[in-house]
Amino acid sequence: MDFYNTDYYTNRELSWVRFNARVLSEAKDKEIELFERLKFLSITASNLDEFFMVRVASLKDMVHAGYNKKDIAGLKAGEQLNLLYPVLHDFVKDQYSCYRMLAKECQKKGLVMVERHEDLKAEDGEFVDRYFTDHVYPVLTPMAVDSSRPFPLIKNKSLNICALLVKKGKDPSKEKHLEFATVQVPSVLPRLVKLEDKDGQQRVIRLEEVIERNMHRLFLNYDVLGSAPFQIMRNADLTIEEEEAEDLLKEIEKQIRKRQWGEAIRLEVEKGIDKRLLKTLKQELAISDEDIYEIDGPLDLTFLMKVYGLEGFDGYRHSSPAPSEVPQIPAGSDVFAAIRAGDILLHHPYQSFRPVVDFIRQAAEDPDVLAIKQTLYRVSGNSPIVRALAEAAENGKQVSVLVELKARFDEENNIGWARMLEKAGCHVIYGLVGLKTHCKIALVVRREEDGIRRYVHLGTGNYNDATARLYTDMGLLTCSESVGEDATAVFNMLSGYSEPLGWNELSLAPLWLKKRLLKLIRRETAAARAGRQSGIRAKMNSLCDPDVIAALYEASAAGVKIDLLVRGICCLKVGIKGVSENIRVYSIVGNYLEHGRIFVFENDCEPEVYLASADWMPRNLERRVEIMFPLREPALKQRVIHILDMQFADNVKKHTLLSGGEYRKEKIGKNENRLSCQELFEEEARRMTEKRKGKKASRRFIPRSHIDE
């Protein structure tokens, strides 16, 4: 049987839109706190922006280049775009239908979002005009377009207002007298302007409405015949010729600047815009009708994240508990002593990310630590881990850091960190040519009484203390000798040309991980055919690698029961007779972003459990440096299996993939208890901490230099 038959696969881009629709379904869910629903709607807008800037832009590039290779579902780039256009337009309409519903709900709860400046009453108009004069007018730069002033370069994602003008005394009915102008809504000012509270309600108006109300003051001696906000999205997918670049850092900096001026791929305009303004925008931006979105509401719904943060509405937000302490490593304890006592499994955000920070921070301070080596993909804006690495180098330790400069939309941030680390004396590697380094690994080499010992952290998520409170991820702290040897080999491979002949525990992409993964799937297939116990359960962000999907189809056809938890893109189809009847696919969308990668293989009643940084996608398995690692301790394996058990049992946030490609959200049965896995894990983490509090505290960390004193 041909398991690569394109009829068995869903188009990747269409699957992504369905994922964003699941996020939008959270914004529509009346069981969720009102401001959380605003947040989810904002997230759909941010997701959609990136989808246009990268995925739609990439498809357009393929069309321009005449690239005719078909995708996993048998579609050429042009065919994919034609499939997407109506779906995306319908999705945007759905977003704004949801927005109008939420705006009405907000008004009932005491928050009025003034939609149009024309709706302002006299006293509010006076306040807005004063605000414009005092705070906005000095910042604005109106741009006229005429024979001596060409159409300005409109920056990617910037919000602008265009205007149709006629000089006073000229006949506005004559086209030759009409002039076009535009002004950028300054991003340095708050998007939300707070009006005076009235009748016990908070009231806000958007900055673009404040400016549009006062457009006549920007163009003296002209009449403003019409004006409207607009926003463009440009191709932001960097094209970097790494082999040709003499200095990768400088090349990426150059490409980042180009990102602002890439091809326009989406134009959003206010519904009802003057057709003459729209015609000018369309011509000057060289954009086609299918890429124009006439918006019935405020442009750029990401402003709702600012609404989410307004004070006075705590009762309408989800109250997440603070992350629990990791029982084995209470605050202030010696991380290295705790790791020597046994491998430690971390489950974020339910458990604190602090032990990971302390792992690096204590290593920086400990005079017995000789070297620290770490990969960094995305870090927070004020990263304590980066500061600790810099401190370690200043303390004379050998510090090697691989900073992945090609982490999309984090390039500038990572360039800044890389330069800071270099100044501190760290040896900084800027990733590998042709590959992104996406693995999460940190190695500490420590001199101890019985010799050199290596301590390792491996994780499924980034070394980012901010997102560690929002993303569900897992990590392992270990001083296993075999893992330590592998970790050393990883860094030698990243920093030089040393490629090990074999590995003790770790499986690395792009050379070994996919082979290992396919081997594990095929082992389950062989077990099923031989009548032995078999099964595969896996959790990941995305599934679209054709070789992996074909192997899963073959396993299913052989009788292997396969349960998959795929948060986002899933190109696998369920319910195909003789192909995928034994495969079930679910997706969880909740308060936390499901980000961990967990793979469990039944192995004839002796389950093997793996964690990984990699999704089952071609880019992860073939074009990135990724790590998959096993859990050996029985208690840790059982804990991870329990986590999967609870996620598959979720009946609050789980969606089920149907044979037609759509998803159905779970409904709680009459005699069924409510089970939200995210809420359950919060409670379990709290109980684990409380249970441990009664036991003897771990030894506190005191650097040897302090002991000597």
Shared domain check, 6 and 40: yes
Summarize the confidence of residues 383-394 as an average pLDDT.
95
- Kind of pairing, strands 471-478 and 344-348? antiparallel
Q: Which sequence positions are flagged as catalytic? A: 438
Contact 377, 405 (CB under 8 A): no
More confident residue, 602 or 405: 602
Other residues' Cβ atoms within 10 Å of the Cβ of residue 70: 12
Residue with tokens 């673009």: 208
Cα separation, 290 vs 283, whole angstroms = 14
Contact 360, 488 (CB under 8 A): no
Residue with tokens 């569900």: 472
Nearest to 337 by CA among 700, 705, 708, 706: 700
In-domain check, residue 62: yes
Summarize the confidence of residues 304-328 as an average pLDDT.
93
Summarize the confidence of residues 190-215 as an average pLDDT.
93
Shared domain check, 292 and 146: yes
**Of 260, 286, 319, the domain-final residue:** 319
Residue 667 above 90 pLDDT? no
- Count of domains observed in the chain: 4
Segments forming the whole domain that contains residue 266:
138-296
- Please give the structure tokens belonging to residue 465: 């203390």
- Please give the structure tokens belonging to residue 704: 């040897």
Shared domain check, 400 and 384: yes
Contact 57, 263 (CB under 8 A): yes
Shared domain check, 477 and 342: yes
Q: In the structure, how many helices (H) and strands (E) does the chain have?
A: 20, 27
Per mean pLDDT, which range of 64-78, 217-231, 491-505 is the poorest? Answer: 491-505
Residue 417: per-residue pLDDT: 82
Other residues' Cβ atoms within 10 Å of the Cβ of residue 655: 22
In-domain check, residue 461: yes
3-state secondary structure of 171: coil
Contact 242, 434 (CB under 8 A): yes
Cα separation, 628 vs 598, whole angstroms = 9
> Residue 405's pLDDT band (boundaries 50, 70, 90)?
confident
Shared domain check, 104 and 32: yes
> Residue 435's pLDDT band (boundaries 50, 70, 90)?
confident
> Residue 210's pLDDT band (boundaries 50, 70, 90)?
very high
584, β-bridge pairs: 563
Per mean pLDDT, which range of 79-88, 421-430, 468-477 is the poorest? Answer: 421-430
Q: What is the CATH number of the domain that holds 226?
A: 3.30.1840.10
Residue 708: per-residue pLDDT: 44
Shared domain check, 165 and 109: no
Nearest to 405 by CA among 427, 441, 376: 376
Q: What is the CATH number of the domain that holds 465?
A: 3.30.870.10
Shared domain check, 488 and 349: yes
Shared domain check, 543 and 530: yes
Shared domain check, 73 and 57: yes
Average pLDDT, the chain: 91
In-domain check, residue 699: no
- Please give the structure tokens belonging to residue 359: 């792992």
Nearest to 684 by CA among 654, 641, 639, 653: 639
Ranked by mean pLDDT, the top range of 17-31, 196-210, 227-241, 420-434 is 17-31
Cα separation, 193 vs 317, whole angstroms = 21
Cα separation, 365 vs 658, whole angstroms = 54
Residue 409 above 70 pLDDT? no
622, β-bridge pairs: none
Residue 485: per-residue pLDDT: 96
Residue 146: per-residue pLDDT: 76
> Residue 500's pLDDT band (boundaries 50, 70, 90)?
confident
Residue with tokens 């074909």: 550
In-domain check, residue 681: no
CA contacts within 13 A on the Cβ side of 76? 10
Shared domain check, 289 and 360: no
Summarize the confidence of residues 562-574 as an average pLDDT.
98
**Of 487, 505, 523, the domain-final residue:** 505
Q: What is the pLDDT of residues 71-105, one digit of tens each?
A: 999 999 999 999 999 999 999 999 999 999 999 99
Contact 358, 330 (CB under 8 A): no
Shared domain check, 527 and 496: no
In-domain check, residue 683: no
**What dihedral do alpha carbons 461, 464, 469, 473 form, nearest 10°?**
10
- From residue 463, give the alpha-carbon distance in Å to each of 339, 382, 468: 19, 12, 8
In-domain check, residue 702: no
- From residue 377, give the alpha-carbon distance in Å to each of 7, 416, 464, 484: 36, 13, 9, 21
Summarize the confidence of residues 518-526 as an average pLDDT.
98
Q: What is the pLDDT of residues 243-277, one digit of tens each?
A: 444 455 566 566 656 555 678 999 999 999 999 99
In-domain check, residue 679: no
In-domain check, residue 252: yes
Going through 271-313 in order, the beta strands assigned E by DSSP cover 292-295
Shared domain check, 151 and 81: no
- Please give the structure tokens belonging to residue 31: 């069981």
Residue 702 above 80 pLDDT? no
HEC-encoded secondary structure of 225-276 = EEEEEEEEEECCCCCCCCCCCCCHHHHHHHHHHHHCCCCEEEEEEECCCCHH
Percentage of the chain lying above the pLDDT 90 cut: 78
Other residues' Cβ atoms within 10 Å of the Cβ of residue 699: 13
Residue 239: per-residue pLDDT: 59
